[in-house]
Each structure stands twice: as C-alpha cells, then as structure tokens.
Amino acid sequence: MAARPLGPSAARRRGARRALVRLTAAAVLALASATGSGQGPASSRTADIGAQVPQTGQPSHLWPPRPAPAGTLAGRFQLEPLRTTTTAPQAAPNQILVQFLPGASAAERAVVRSAVGAVEPAAVLSQDSSLELLPTAQPVTEALAAVDGLPGVEFAEPNWIVRHQATSNDPYYTNGSLWGMYGDGTSPSNPFGSEAGERWAQGHTGSNSVYVAVIDEGIDVNHPDLAANIWTNPFDPVDGVDNDGNGRIDDTHGWDFFNNDRTVYDGSAGSPGTDAHGTHVAGTIGARGGNGVGVAGVNWNIRLISAKFLGPTGGFTSGAIQALSYVIDLKARHPALNIVATNNSWGGGGYSVSLHQAIIRAAKAGILFVAAAGNSASNNDSLPRYPSNYATNVSAGSESAASYDAVIAVAAITSSGALSSFSNYGQSSVDIGAPGSGILSTTPQNGYSSYNGTSMATPHVTGAVALYKAMQPGVGAEQVRSAILSAVAATSSLSGRTTTGGRLNLGNLSAGPLPSSFSKLAPSNGTVGLGTSVMLSWGTSSGATSYEYCLDQTADNDCAAAWISTGSATSTIVTVQAASAYSWQVRALNQNGSVNADGGVWWSLASAGAAMYSSILKAPQCSGPGGFCDSGFLLNGRDGIAGGPEPNQPNTISSSCPDGTNGQYHIDESIDRLRVETLDGGAFAPSKPVRITATVWVWGVANNRLDLWAAPDANSPAFALVGSVSPPGTGLRELSATYTLPAGESQAVRAVFRYFIGTPSPSVCTLGSYDDHDDLVFSVGYASFTDDPLIPGSHLVRAVHLQELRTRINALRASNGLSAASWTDPGLGVGTIIRAAHLAELREALHAVYVAIARVPPTYTDATLAPGFTLIKAAHITELRSAVVALE
Amino acid sequence: MVLIVLTLLIVQGAQAPVTIARGSASGIEVAREVVVRTPAEWDALWGEHGDQRPRPAVDLSSQMVAAVFIGTRPTAGYTVEITGARVEPDGLVIDYEERQPPPGVIVPQMLSAPYHMVTLPHRDGAVRFVKKGQP
C-alpha cells in the first residue's frame, strides 16, 4: 500500500485528510460489519503509476472523533441511560382473529363471540365471511383459550401488530444508537423517539427541493454523511465574483459571518472540535440515510445551507441578525430556494429588537424559526430565554407583526420520555419536546459523537418541519407549524411544561386523503433523440387540485431543479437543451399532500446527442449519427464512493476496466462527464476532427492526469491514445483533446483520470485506487457530400458533386490496391458541362473496386448512358454516393 | 552565596506547563484534578476521558501529566486553563482558571465538559491545585 506523497504543506494537509478518511471509513465499516451489514474492510490505497512510497503512518494528533464502539455510547455525555428495545412480536390488545369452519352455524358463531364478550365482529375479513376480528375486553391469551375447541371454530389467533421493516441500513440506526429517530413501530424501537423511521418506511424520506438553513457554527460540508445534502449555490459559482449580487462573493454552501468569509467549515484534522456543534445539528436534520454509512437524519434528502455566526468563543446578536438576514435574502432573491426553516440551537443575550425584527421578517417570508429552549433547567415563562421566547405575531419596533407565530421553542427529552435534567421548559413559552439526551450525529472529520442539549432536540423539530414540507409541498409555513404542534404525542413529563404538553411525533402527522395514483404518458420512459421542444403528458389523478412536474438533469430520482405547477393541466411543453439527458416526474397535489406518478419512478428522456446507458455495451451510448455525443449525468462520480456513486459503474465497455474505490465524491478524483463533438459542428464522419471534453474533479494538479483514448470499433475496442492532459487547477475542470475520426460505424472514446506518483505513463486501464475510467460510444456516419441529400427538382448536378465522388472513389481504389482512375476533364469546375461520360467513368471506376473485393456491384438507373441523350440527374449521383458509402 | 540560592529557587520555582490536550467535550463529567506519573495511570485517565484520538505520547520518566476536568457545564463557551505551576514549600502548586461565556455572548445550547491536560517536569511529592479566585 502507498500513501499519497507528502510534499508541500497543502499537499500534506490533504494527505492528512486522506488518512482520516480511510481510517474512519474503516471504523464505520467495521461497525457495519459488527452489526451485520456485511461490509468488507476498507480497500487499500494504491497509486496507478510510479514508485510506491512508504506508508506514512497515522499522525497521532490527527485522529478524528471516531464512532464509539457499538453499545458503548453511554460513556460519552450520556446523562440518562439509553433505552432502546428490540422488536418482539406483539399482538393488538383486545382483539383476536377467529377462523370459522365452513358451515359453522349462526348459533355457533354467536356462542364464540359471546365467549369473548363480543356482541358482533369488529370486522369480517374474508370473502366467505368465515374470518372475523372479534373485540374483547379479555387479555388476548384468555380470549384465545375461551374459544379454543368451541364448535364451529377452525382456529383462533392473535391479531399481530405488523411492524414496518427498518428502512434505514445506516449502522448507527440499526445498532440501536439513534433512538431519536425511532418510534414504537420501528426496529429497533423506542416509543419516545420522533418516529421519523416510521415515515421513512412509508416512503417519506425528504426532498432535495426543501431547504433548511443551519444558523450556528459551520458545517463540515465534506462529511460523507452530509456532503450529498449540502446546498451548493447555483447562483454564485466560484469565480471571485458576486454573481447574484447578494453581497457575498462565492457563497457556495452559505456564509461564515463569524469570520466574514465563504468558508463555512474552519476545522481540520488537528482541531476536530471546530464547527462540531453545527455539524452535529446538521446531521440530525439531514444526514444522508439509507447509504449504509453512519447515521440517518430526519431527512435523507434535503438541502442544508450553512449560515455560520458562532465561532470558538460563541457569537453575538449582530452575527445572528446577519445570518438570518442572509437566509431571508436568499429566499427573496431566488424563489426556487424553498427555504422552510432555520435551525437555531443557540441562546444567550437579552432581548434584541433588531433580532426580533429579523425573525418577524423571516416569518413573513414563510421561514419558520425553530429554537432551543435552553439548558439551564429553568422556566422560560418566568425567566425569558432568547431567541426561543420571541414570537412573530407581535410587532417589534417598526416591524409589524406577522400573521402567525413562526417560532417553535423546543425542550429536550430523554430516551425514556422524561424531561432532560438540563432542559428549560415553559407552559406558555416552550412549545414541544424532542429527543435531546444522548443524541448521536455527525461531527467533523468524518466523526460521529453523542451530545446532549436542547441544541440536539431542536434539529429533530427542524427536520420534522422539512420532512412534512416534503410530504405536503402545498402547505404554508403556518400550517406546517400547526401540523407539527398538533401531532404531538401527549407526554406526562411535558404536561404543564410546554404549550402542547407533548413530544414530537412524526407518525401522528396527518396526511389526510391523498390524490389517487396516476401514470405518466409521454414521452415514454427512455425516449431518446428528441428535439428541443418536448410535450410532457400524464393521466388524471382523482382528488388532485393541481399538478407539478420536475425536469431534472440528475439521475437520483429527486428534484434538484424545481417543481413547476401546471395548474389542473395534464400536459405541458418544456424546452430541453441539445445533447442533454433528463429525468422527469409529475406529482398530483391536494390540500393533504402529493402523490408522485408511477409510484415514484422517474422517467428519462434525452434530446439528440445525449447518451443513454447501453446495457449491452455497459457504457453510455448515443444513438444515430450526429455532431455531438454527451454523457450528461451518466458518468457523474466514481465507482461506489461516498456521496457520489457513479450510476452503472464502471461504465467501461463490457465492464472491461473497473474504477478505483477509494476516496470521496468531489474531494478525490472522478470523471463526471464526457462529450465528443465535431469541430465544424457537422455530423460525425471519418476524417473529421473532433474534440473530446472530459469534466473531471481534480484532487491535485501535480498528481492527476487525464488520458484520452479512442477506438474505431466500440464492439471490439482497440484504444489508441489521443492525448494526455494535465489539469490547470483543482476542483471541477473541463479538459479536452482533439483527434481525427477514423472510419467505423460505432466508435468509442475512453477517459482515464488517474492519480500517479513519479513519472506518469498512460495506460488504457490503470489500477490506481483513486482512478476513474469511463467510455462513451457514438455513431459515425459517412463523410458528407455537398447538397446531401440531393433533392430532385431542387438541386442541379454540379461539378463539385462529381469531383468529390472522384476523390472518394480513388480513395477506395487506393485502399483496395487499385491504381487511381483518370478522369475526363480533370479540371472539372464551374462552367464544365456535366456529361454522361463523366458519370460513366465514375461507375466504371467504382465497379472495379466492387469486383476487387468480391462484392456484388450495384445496379444503376439508366444502366446504359447515352451521350448527348441521357440527362445527368440527381438520382444518378445519389445512387453513386450510396455505392461509395457502402464500401467506406 | 545568598544571591545564588535565591536565583536557583526562582529558576526551580516557575515551571511552564505544556498543553497536550484541551477541549470542551471530555467524557469525565465530574470535576477532577489529576496528576499522572505512570503509564498505567496515563492509560486509565485517557481511556476514561474518552477521546478517540490516540493518547499523546509522554515520557513519564522525565515528565508528568497534570489535568483539570471541571465537570459538566450547561452550554458551550466554558473553558479551563492551567495557567502555571510553581514550587512552594509544601510541594508543587498548579494554578488553573475556569472561564465562563462573557455576559451577552450567544453560545450553542449543548452540554460541555471542559478539560485541560499539560505536561510538567516529573516531580515526586505533594501537588496542590489552586483554582483562580479560590484559596
């Protein structure tokens, strides 16, 4: 094994992070293995080329906070014992199922019912009325005994409570550590959890169209359990310019108001405590779930915006105002950013008119303000705590009141339902309780830690707001708040201590009757070669009040763009870009929520020039000849690396070259996109110059190299090197090289993006553990002709038509061992009268080629050309062209 | 002669602590003042402290570890610092100071357990911790 070289300081820092990534991944995998997920050990690290350097070892000061071993979390900030129960079969109380024998009489049935105290069945469950669900006041075991052996009874059994399958495969969820996400119907279970797991089991795992701002410390945006859910600002790309005019240059993931810079994460391997609180909070709201790694947040899919204002020594009201104002401005400036809430796990300072006004402005923008009640075990009714004691339905200075209260004040509870010993409370000032003791979540440098505090309870509620908004996108902020607070589970420890007297309970959120299921109609799934104007259509959903569609250029079955309403219309015309692939979905909405068409399955479509994955070739392929071929999102990422697994990886023809398996998405090397296009904009044809462009993520300039290869036959690829390109900088880069197309109907290009040490030497399939290899297959037609096609009546046969046939026929003759033909009027040009002799000699010269290669020569219109009588027509030229192309 | 003795006393009396670990999230949640002089004690303390990072290497033949854990505090923003060590007639005195979030400062609402660990030249005999503001 070889580590990346430790050279300049920057490289050394990166190298250090490499060590952390690998080591912590190993720890997580080990945990997963211990909990039965069956993952193997972390793969080794290899460079593809050059000398192997010694393992550097693990610097002792760089070890990050690591996951506590399974079952030992109680040792770290675990004030109250963690209670998690394993699931054993449980029967519904006061019910039994009785199966009567065929022909059981009404009298026999009456005796059976009477034996358990039932007057009539609660339900008849079979077509022939032989299976009855009987209510009973007796314990289930006694009721079963009472009917056992009675005439007419075939059998009786408990009405087992059917529990949801655990949908999360995240090791800290499955091993019982994530009690705040559990419910009484999950496995593992905990009745005092938020019941997020029950919503997941129903398919509600959040949406990338819902945004939450974390006003706090920063967030480790590279944490593998968070990276995929971190917002990346599309309105202000990293170019040193404030593109969207919000006063913040390159606010890629948010803004750091503490340091007034764009870097929202300021920690390092040597300071794993930096931004730990913000990262922990973010993980509870939206750590990626179902990825087999670490923890799961309330939302598996969400967009998290970091508005950092807390530093190592805390922060000030001014910073909080700046952070909140930034979020409000983002939403106003970019309405597509569906920011539904801010999470505010902080407190201190007294009442501030300015902050109060900002919170009211947020309310007016439809942004809820979820706030920690505080950790001083005191009553907020008598000793107000801010910001949780603010209300937005009252005015503040010159800021008029909002129409509703947007603040949700959150107390903390333990895994046994008690109010956490430190938690503040308030019958009129604290709204709800949520899990806040022994909460495991993400911490920087790929860590996981268990923390306590109302800080930890708050993001459970913020996460619930986001999840509910994803479930019911049509409801407003006031309704969301009302729904969350109305759905609480009554909890004795919170009675008289919160306005609701209850704890967060996602399972109680009422969705009401939803629109009926429906299907998309056209264009059918997988349609390719579309023009740039496409009509989407779908069927009718009963109960729907409106429809929304999403046309997305990602393949993650989630809407990264925006849902766009069509009102009640069941079709719409959309504009797509050339050479682009899309996925699309439609949802029907009513006041209770939404239903996605086709059970949530997204359909794909592609305009001409966009590649679709070929299950035969095992690589993206463009159908039909064109002038460009683009992989779109089909190559994004690499192998199965965290945060960015490549769809259909490895995407090399016949899976001939696997990708490296080390690293993280958009930290380490990957090829994200591949495009081939002619330089002249015309169709692919032999002898034409084309450009290959690869969009790659560069880890290190000195150690990364892109090799581009081409093969004339994709079905039996013999790749030849087109060129090697050194990246000019790190991060996302477009690198390209040009070459001349050889002959061949179905051709391929391969990009190899590799990490090397020492002297790079290209290879069509490298073995480095950070290397990515991707192929793109495209069709090449024949070299075009002037006026192609020739249209009878529109095109006159001209000298140029004959001249290019002469050239290509002689090329064919040469490639088949024949001497060049000589031509009448060799200087054929404008003014030359096109005669039958010209055509005849072309036919003769080509005929010789057919004979030479034992092919049946073509037959022609006007087989016998009569000089002076036969008029040379477009058809004559067209058939000759076809005969030439058939041999090319 | 007297001047030489006084100079030696001054040199020996002030001992500069060298930080080896400091933070706000110890697994030791009850206040404790500790001196570690053996590898076994150092292993035990680091394990109880619960830091997942490797235990810092300390040559306990020539050095010793002094640590202060101030227990659980209701929020972030609390810190502890060992500010110095001095030799007094009754033994080694280690001075430390706890700092609270300044009034009006906003802090995360997360329980914390601040700690500070330092190395000092190895010294047998009595050690007394003195918290600033307390006798």
- Summary mean pLDDT of chain A: 83
How far, in Å, CA of A610 to CA of A630, rounded? 5
Q: Rg of chain B over CA atoms, in angstroms?
A: 16
Contact status, residue A190 vs residue A499, Cβ threshold 8 Å: no
pLDDT for A494 beyond 70: yes
Calculate the CA A8 to chain-centre distance: 35
Q: Tell me what pLDDT residue A262 has.
A: 96
pLDDT digits (tens, 9 = 90+) for A658-671: 999 888 888 889 99
Sign, Cα dihedral of A487, A491, A493, A498: positive
How far, in Å, CA of B93 to CA of B100, rounded? 23
From A405, A454, A463, A407, select the one nearest A433 (Cα to Cα). Answer: A454
Q: Which residue of A has its CA nearest to B78?
A: A313
Enumerate the residues of chain A whose CB falls inside 8 A of the CB of residue B56.
60-61
Same topology between domain A520-607 and domain A631-779: yes
Q: Which residue of A has its CA nearest to B99?
A: A313
Phi, psi of A140 (to 5 degrees): -55, -45
Fold of A171-508: Rossmann fold (3.40.50)
In CATH, what number does A91-160 get?
3.30.70.80
Sign, Cα dihedral of A7, A9, A15, A19: positive
CA dihedral A34, A40, A41, A43 (to 10 degrees): -160
Pairwise pLDDT comparison (A786 vs A226), residue with the higher score: A226
Which of A60, A317, A346 is opposite residue B107, by nearest beta carbon? A346
Which of B52, B101, B106 is opposite residue A320, by nearest beta carbon? B106
CB contact under 8 A, B25 and A77: yes
Tell me the ipTM for this assembly.
Answer: 0.82
Beta bridge partners of A574: A534
Which H or E run contains A671?
strand A670-678
Enumerate the residues of chain B whose CB falls inside 8 A of the CB of residue A373.
109
> How close, in Å, is residue A457 to chain B by CA atoms?
10
How far, in Å, CA of B27 to CA of A77, rounded? 6
> How close, in Å, is residue A129 to chain B by CA atoms?
58
Residue B57 in contact with partner chain A when CB distance is under 8 A: yes
Enumerate the residues of chain B whose CB falls inside 8 A of the CB of residue A453.
75, 108-111
Pairwise pLDDT comparison (A578 vs B5), residue with the higher score: A578
Residues in chain B: 135
Which of B52, B72, B107 is opposite residue A348, by nearest beta carbon? B107
C-alpha distance from residue B133 to each of A371, B22, B95, B130 (Å):
35, 21, 10, 9
Q: How confident is the model at residue A320 (pLDDT cuts 50, 70, 90)?
A: very high
pLDDT digits (tens, 9 = 90+) for A133-145: 788 888 888 888 8
Q: Which of A313, A376, A425 to mutate to test the interface with B (most CBs of B within 10 A)?
A: A313
Which of B29, B74, B108 is opposite residue A346, by nearest beta carbon? B108
Q: Where are the alpha helices (DSSP H) in A37-133?
A: 106-115
Angle, helices A140-147/A106-115, rounded to nearest 10 degrees: 150
- Indicate the SS3 state at residue B71: coil
Enumerate the residues of chain B whose CB falls inside 8 A of the CB of residue A24.
none
Six token digits for residue A22: 């690998």
Six token digits for residue A294: 């670490």
Q: How confident is the model at residue A6 (pLDDT cuts 50, 70, 90)?
A: very low
Domain A631-779 in CATH 3.30.70.270: no
Q: Half-sphere exposure of residue A82, counting CA atoms within 13 Å on the CB side?
A: 28
Phi, psi of A158 (to 5 degrees): -65, 155
Sort residue A94 into left (φ over 0), alpha (ψ -120 to 50) or beta. Answer: left
Q: How confident is the model at residue A38 (pLDDT cuts 50, 70, 90)?
A: very low
CB contact under 8 A, B27 and A452: no
A520-607: CATH class: mainly beta
Q: Which of A76, A452, A454 to mutate to test the interface with B (most CBs of B within 10 A)?
A: A76
Q: Which of A342-351, A461-470, A587-596, A852-861 has the lowest mean pLDDT?
A: A587-596
Q: Tell me what pLDDT residue A510 has.
A: 64
Helix, strand, coil tally for chain A in percent (to 5): 25, 25, 50
* Domain segments of chain A as ranges: 9-75, 91-160, 171-508, 520-607, 631-779, 799-887
Burial bucket for residue A781 (CB in 10 Å: 0-12, 13-18, 19+): middle
Contact status, residue A643 vs residue A664, Cβ threshold 8 Å: yes
How far, in Å, CA of B37 to CA of B124, rounded? 9
CB contact under 8 A, A453 and B110: yes
pLDDT digits (tens, 9 = 90+) for A405-449: 999 999 999 999 999 999 999 999 999 999 999 999 999 999 999
User: Could you tell me which residues come within 8 angstroms of residue A29 by beta carbon, excluding any fewer than 6 positions away?
Assistant: A39, A40, A41, A42
Pairwise pLDDT comparison (A349 vs A573), residue with the higher score: A573
Q: Rg of chain A over CA atoms, in angstroms?
A: 34
User: Could you tell me which residues come within 8 angstroms of residue A540 by beta carbon, excluding any fewer than 6 positions away?
Assistant: A518, A570
Six token digits for residue A269: 């391997």
User: Could you tell me which residues come within 8 angstroms of residue A319 by beta carbon, excluding any fewer than 6 positions away?
Assistant: A257, A258, A309, A310, B106
Share of chain A above pLDDT 90, in %: 49
Q: Tell me what pLDDT residue A512 has.
A: 60
Residue position matching structure tokens 């004030």: A79
Enumerate the residues of chain A whose CB falls inside 8 A of the CB of residue B75.
347-348, 375, 453
Which H or E run contains B49?
helix B39-49
CB contact under 8 A, B107 and A350: no
pLDDT for A246 beyond 70: yes
Q: Tell me what pLDDT residue A128 has.
A: 62
- Indicate the SS3 state at residue A154: strand
Residues in chain A: 888
Contact status, residue A513 vs residue A592, Cβ threshold 8 Å: yes
User: Could you tell me which residues come within 8 angstroms of residue A552 by beta carbon, excluding any fewer than 6 positions away?
Assistant: A558, A559, A560, A561, A582, A583, A584, A585, A602
Q: Which residue of A has its CA nearest to B57?
A: A60
For chain B, list residues with pLDDT below 50: 1-12
* Domain segments of chain B as ranges: 2-131
Q: Which residue of A has its CA nearest to B71?
A: A77
Rounded to an integer, the average pLDDT of A679-699 is 90
Q: Tell me what pLDDT residue B14 has.
A: 64
CB contact under 8 A, A453 and B111: yes
pLDDT for A39 beyond 60: no
* Catalytic (active-site) positions of A: 216, 277, 455
